[in-house]
Structure 1
């Protein structure tokens, strides 16, 4: 080999701050600014934080209606590309139900052990009826829209899901004649996901505003009154996210739970900050694909889960809230009521529809049990703080179930799963080698 061989210059690496580090930095800065605004009574800073956080959430919500419609439509039609599509869909729904049942049992157990409504100092007079409420009649009849425009203008996600499902099934029935519509829908979906991806990149800035406003507005005094209830919700969600899900991954899917969280953590973080399963959906889709779940199945399971799979908002939270409200109003709950809570959690979770907050699900639970709806007013003040952990749990479950089903059906790419530790916010690009490539003809 000649000594005069020209050295090949190495491409410079770009310094990239991991997405999780950006989010944590946003959380820390938000807490500091929120504390400063509250302690120094800086109204301008509170307003600024409110505008920053509100703008971020508004940008996420802007694409929700068309995103849900086209994601569900395309996901249903994509099932035609998957072998045993009906089996995959039914197994997905089954695991949604199983994990929701486990979550609600954990919520009830924690509530019975801790008595979250005792010693709070709150009374029925502190509550108030919500402006809107959920009922089984409204839930069942409200699925069908009166027209095709109102669900989009009023952001009724459940009705949008219904219309998208009908359109998707109709497209499957028509066959080749529907291909132009499907091609258009896939293009629009790609467009929406790209636009929403740009919004997701702003999450660290949005985090500063959302967390800062929460601290500046609520402080720590309010949390004190709800200390047990808040701890119950966070502990219950943590048990499901870091206990139940890893156990299922290890025993059912036979994969590493640690590797799952390495791959799924960016989506879980964004869900914690944004409090929106639907807003997090494009990132959830990407992390699930990187965990080795086939794209065709992912494009069905994740949108389906983002609108129906709510272990935090629809299982743990309403079960604890029902016990909390019953204790405040001095109402005794028996075995029948606890079974009803489990039933509502497993069957009615679609009522939350992936949006920020779980008031509809809570009112549905309370009305089914015959508990005073004024109890909702007791929990609205603390709801944003609780909703962060609830939504993170929702999204974790929406990522876990496709992995479970794919592993059980032997369609999980386990090599991809084991390597899913790179941040999904980095563009897919060829790796830059640590050393310069050897000249052609070089010998070892």
Structure 2
């Protein structure tokens, strides 16, 4: 059944162009760039607008994940399905995260964007780099795994730690499913609670243009287009590599699974523009989950794959890590042997999981990698600290597309995809995607 209509009800009216969310965000981004460029001081002062919007979205992330996962799992017929979905998701994440690391390393070796800078590592120092290195030192695998376990059953809903929320939601959903009839009133209540929560998501998304405007004005006002200077080659290389990863690698995965990556990108364009404007992939998490459900993916799969993917399926971050490490080595005239590069790759595979979910994770994982591979000076991170804001947008965009693709693929693998709804959505990716339509009734 089309989730926008039920029992012959009329579909939503076509929105006027100025009412479309992604159009509003595009205009806001353009205005933010102009303001930041011509009035940099005033533009930089608008940072609180972007921060406030991201905080508003983070406020609703924990309830969205909890309700989606609990109601999805409690409706499963077999408890083994939870472990099966999680296993397939982790297999997908590991495969493509590793592939992203390898691609970043290959491109970095071919284009060599750091050649010619001739930087003396002894001249590099930055208090900010030291701060990131300290965070990376604290982000061990054991600490990361221990942090998944919450202090209390309800503390994750207060702290907003994504993996803790996911952990509590899974065990609570399993508990509800196990008690059968006695749990049905609670499941019914949570299903009903989903409607106002997602309506709230729709309300918050109306502030997206303001958030994007403030965030972009700050970025351009503080750093300026000219500040990236001769580092443009690294930025261009990273953007092109990420684009090729999405269009070629994920494109082939999508084709093999019966859909077009370009249609998927059109379907989630609201979320992509939102991420571009705010440099935060978390800003789009609630509405991305809703859209994946609307596309025909079962709620339980959406609830498992997307929140987990935000920590484990970071394709953009992985491309950035190996490419940035090679850039620093090339800039400092350090030639890495194949063995050293292979070691770098292995360490990056581990550190990308150890620092997952931490604010500034891209830079922290890079620090964690370089701290274990002494061949590349960790002080070299000062070279790319100034442009990290520009690269974080590409990381977030690539991560978002990767997680949307992963959700569809895992759902298909687990026979948890409504193929009719999905095919209709992919053939008409621009229809009814301009808002969340939170009042639409969903089959549960």
- 2:245 corresponds in structure 1 to 240
Q: When the two structures are aligned, how many residues end up with a matched partner?
A: 413
* TM-superposed deviation, 1:369: 2.1
- 1:29 corresponds in structure 2 to 31
* TM-superposed deviation, 1:127: 3.7
Q: How does 1:267-282 map to 2 (within 5 A)?
A: 267-282=271-286
Superposed CA deviations along residues 27-58 of structure 1, whole A, max 9, x for unmatched, are: 211111111113xxxx33432x3232222223
Q: How does 1:53-202 map to 2 (within 5 A)?
A: 53-64=50-61, 77=74, 84-120=81-117, 122-124=119-121, 125-128=123-126, 129-131=129-131, 132-135=134-137, 138-145=140-147, 147-148=151-152, 157-158=162-163, 161=166, 192-202=197-207
Note if contact 2:292-2:404 (Cα within 8 Å) is conserved in structure 1.
yes
Kindly indicate whether residue 42 of structure 2 is the aligned counterpart of residue 44 of structure 1.
Answer: yes
Which secondary structure does the structure 2 equivalent of 1:254 belong to? coil
Following the alignment from structure 2 to structure 1, what is the Cα–Cα distance between the partners of residues 169 and 335?
A: 42
* TM-superposed deviation, 1:111: 0.7
Which secondary structure does the structure 1 equivalent of 2:140 belong to? helix
- 2:289 corresponds in structure 1 to 285
- 1:322 corresponds in structure 2 to 325
Following the alignment from structure 2 to structure 1, what is the Cα–Cα distance between the partners of residues 183 and 352?
A: 32
* TM-superposed deviation, 1:398: 0.6
Note if contact 2:310-2:357 (Cα within 8 Å) is conserved in structure 1.
yes
Distance 1:88 1:180, change over 3 A: same
Q: How does 1:382-421 map to 2 (within 5 A)?
A: 382-420=387-425, 421=429
Note if contact 2:215-2:277 (Cα within 8 Å) is conserved in structure 1.
yes
Distance 1:258 1:181, change over 3 A: same
Kindly indicate whether residue 370 of structure 2 is the aligned counterpart of residue 366 of structure 1.
Answer: yes
Following the alignment from structure 1 to structure 2, what is the Cα–Cα distance between the partners of residues 113 and 376?
A: 21
Q: What do you get for the CA RMSD once the two structures are aligned?
A: 3.5
* TM-superposed deviation, 1:77: 4.9
Q: How does 1:289-304 map to 2 (within 5 A)?
A: 289-304=293-308
Which secondary structure does the structure 1 equivalent of 2:116 belong to? coil
Distance 1:193 1:334, change over 3 A: farther
Note if contact 1:278-1:354 (Cα within 8 Å) is conserved in structure 2.
no
Distance 1:121 1:72, change over 3 A: farther
* TM-superposed deviation, 1:414: 3.4
- 2:221 corresponds in structure 1 to 216
Gaps of 5+ in 2: 1-11
Bigger Rg over Cα = 1
Following the alignment from structure 2 to structure 1, what is the Cα–Cα distance between the partners of residues 270 and 264?
A: 11
Distance 1:67 1:295, change over 3 A: closer
Note if contact 2:107-2:241 (Cα within 8 Å) is conserved in structure 1.
yes
Distance 1:205 1:137, change over 3 A: closer
Following the alignment from structure 2 to structure 1, what is the Cα–Cα distance between the partners of residues 397 and 272?
A: 5
Following the alignment from structure 1 to structure 2, what is the Cα–Cα distance between the partners of residues 185 and 143?
A: 28
Note if contact 1:76-1:300 (Cα within 8 Å) is conserved in structure 2.
no
User: Greater RCO between the two (CA within 8 Å, min separation 6)?
Assistant: 2
Note if contact 1:27-1:208 (Cα within 8 Å) is conserved in structure 2.
yes
| Range that drifts further, 240-249 or 295-304 | 295-304
Following the alignment from structure 2 to structure 1, what is the Cα–Cα distance between the partners of residues 173 and 344?
A: 33
Note if contact 2:276-2:393 (Cα within 8 Å) is conserved in structure 1.
yes
| Range that drifts further, 167-176 or 194-203 | 167-176
* TM-superposed deviation, 1:306: 2.4
* TM-superposed deviation, 1:76: 5.3
Q: Normalising to structure 2: TM-score of the pair?
A: 0.80
* TM-superposed deviation, 1:283: 1.3
Gaps of 5+ in 1: 1-10, 431-444
Following the alignment from structure 1 to structure 2, what is the Cα–Cα distance between the partners of residues 279 and 90?
A: 27
Following the alignment from structure 2 to structure 1, what is the Cα–Cα distance between the partners of residues 90 and 266?
A: 25
* TM-superposed deviation, 1:318: 0.7
